Structure 1
């Protein structure tokens, strides 16, 4: 028994030495060489020796700054490559072209500022790409040209302010797109074209103040749209009406809403659409007008429209009074110019004057009523 245990120990130690000989200093090879862990090894570049059977390579938390062309060409079996929290600023064209089976690539927390067409060469089977917390400023049609099979793209916390039309056009399989924490100010129709499989679109924490009505129309599978914490003061009904998904949840909290009657009408219509769910409607607050700042939209919407309706009625009544007064004065002048008036015509004139007086009294009462109603509603809003 002791001899057996001794033999087992020798074999294990020999195997361990054999495995370690495949790894650079600071790396740890595990799981029959399928997992190579080089995290926090303080290495400045990609390791020269990685077991050829490696499927997961963890190079996170190091000092790597450049991904050369045709990197890791001897490690075609890698499925997961973790490069987060390095100093990577340059990815040469074809840097990942040899990793034909790569499914997850994590480049978050680096210094990448541009994505060339060559960045995505060879990544047709990539399913998840993490690019959060980099220095990207714009996206165009070349940025993700070869990522046909990508399902999850994370671009959180970059400095993206421009997305050109068809930037994501090659990603027909994309299901999640995270763009929160960037510097987008507007959403133009066409930037999400071809994303027919997209389910989650996260645009929270940008500076979006304008959305074109058809921008979300291509997203026929979208179930979550996050527009919270932007600069939206109003929104067009057609913008969300164009979403034809069976069930879509929309987040709109922490925007500086201008709580006028038009906005109230838009939200009333949106809430009546059964396929759309405004999950945080009861938390929406007003920024303008100043008298309503920090009020919840749901608490002031009815008052807003009623006050506005009263205003319209007062204006209408004023116009009616003005027109009637002009007509009566014109009629009175015309009758005074008549010559040879008979007794009968004088009686008719007296009757006409009585009718005029009664009509003017009724209009004055109507004007007083509308003015009092409006003043009462205005005091309630204050």
Structure 2
């Protein structure tokens, strides 16, 4: 193969490789196979590289990774598999990677995945699953990634967030869910995120959302990103945003960019300039005042009616005398 060798580094970018070569130096620490035609990673192909710390397999044709293919790479820190053809990602593919801090699977064809109880990945800090075809995130799918800090799930096809979707992610700080199709979320979806600092829900299909979704997040401070959703601007939504601002540990980072989509007369109007709750309150007060006035008027009419009857009765008594 036409790879470039420098002490500890093997550069095989664009070397027209269809498989991982067998003659790699055992002292290799940095290995780059970007932009080749490798279609799979087979068990044993990398076993000799026990000192490897960085492995780049971006922009190949990888559709299959045999279980335990990376088991010998106990010192591996970063594994890049972006822009391949993987449809599934399971913890068994990454067994043995006890020192892995970054796993990138961006821009594949992923539809399913599970890292449930992935004990070998408990050192992982960054997981990138963005730009795939993920439509559902099973509850507890990440349970076991106790040190994960950054989770990228943006630009997938997720429509609903189940209860306990992110259970076990106690160290998670940044969660990217922007660019999906999320229209509903369980009150308990984010309940166990104790360290979350920023939650990106912008550019989804949210028309409304309950304050309870964020109320259950126990963190020091959480910045929410909610713009570019088709919000239905009504008093309930405005009340939700108002409650968020009343909680000191919550804020909306992009509030100035949030606009109404419905009703039609408010389309593209900034949410911050709409005073729906005030209008609703005024309407309620007017209705209440109208009812009170009508009641008072009815009481007066009844009193006047009784007075007239009493006067007629007295007049009749006078005539009898």
Q: Cα deviation per residue 1:283-314 (whole Å; 9 max; x = unaligned)?
A: 110101100100001111x2x22221122233
Shift of 1:333: 7.9
Q: Residue 269 of structure 1 corresponds to which residue in structure 2?
A: 243
Q: Say whether the 8 Å CA contact 2:199–2:222 is kept in structure 1.
A: yes
Question: Kindly tell me: are residues 51 and 140 of structure 1, through their superposed partners in 2, closer, same or farther at Cα, counting changes over 3 Å?
Answer: closer
Give the counterpart of 1:342 among 302, 314, 319. 314
Q: Residue 305 of structure 1 corresponds to which residue in structure 2?
A: 277
Question: Kindly tell me: are residues 231 and 143 of structure 1, through their superposed partners in 2, closer, same or farther at Cα, counting changes over 3 Å?
Answer: farther
Q: Residue 269 of structure 2 corresponds to which residue in structure 1?
A: 295
Give the counterpart of 2:172 among 178, 182, 198. 198
SS at match of 1:305: helix
Q: Say whether the 8 Å CA contact 2:116–2:144 is kept in structure 1.
A: no
Q: Residue 5 of structure 2 corresponds to which residue in structure 1?
A: 29
What is the distance in 1 between the residues matched to 2:300 and 2:63? 82
Aligned length: 318
What is the distance in 2 between the residues matched to 1:216 and 1:82? 32
The root-mean-square deviation of aligned C-alpha atoms, in Å, is 2.5
Q: Aligned pair 1:227/2:230, yes or no?
A: no
Instruction: Give the TM-score normalised by structure 1.
Output: 0.77
Shift of 1:71: 2.5
- Structure 1 stretches (4+) deviating beyond 6 angstroms? 325-340
Correspondence 1:49-60 to 2 at 5 A: 49-60=23-34
Instruction: Give the TM-score normalised by structure 2.
Output: 0.91
Question: Kindly tell me: are residues 330 and 48 of structure 1, through their superposed partners in 2, closer, same or farther at Cα, counting changes over 3 Å?
Answer: same
Q: Say whether the 8 Å CA contact 1:207–1:230 is kept in structure 2.
A: yes
Q: Which moved more, 1:141-150 or 1:161-170?
A: 141-150
Runs of 5+ in structure 1 lacking a partner?
1-24, 347-382
What is the distance in 1 between the residues matched to 2:75 and 2:284? 67
Q: Cα deviation per residue 1:248-275 (whole Å; 9 max; x = unaligned)?
A: 2211111111111121121122112222
Q: Cα deviation per residue 1:88-118 (whole Å; 9 max; x = unaligned)?
A: 0001111111211111100010000012342
Q: Residue 253 of structure 2 corresponds to which residue in structure 1?
A: 279
Q: Residue 158 of structure 2 corresponds to which residue in structure 1?
A: 184
Q: Cα deviation per residue 1:333-353 (whole Å; 9 max; x = unaligned)?
A: 88899999334999xxxxxxx
Q: Say whether the 8 Å CA contact 1:146–1:170 is kept in structure 2.
A: no
Q: Say whether the 8 Å CA contact 2:19–2:39 is kept in structure 1.
A: yes
Shift of 1:201: 0.5
What is the distance in 2 between the residues matched to 1:121 and 1:244? 32
Q: Cα deviation per residue 1:40-67 (whole Å; 9 max; x = unaligned)?
A: 0010001111000001110110000011
Q: Aligned pair 1:214/2:195, yes or no?
A: no
Runs of 5+ in structure 2 lacking a partner?
none
What is the distance in 1 between the residues matched to 2:98 and 2:312? 101
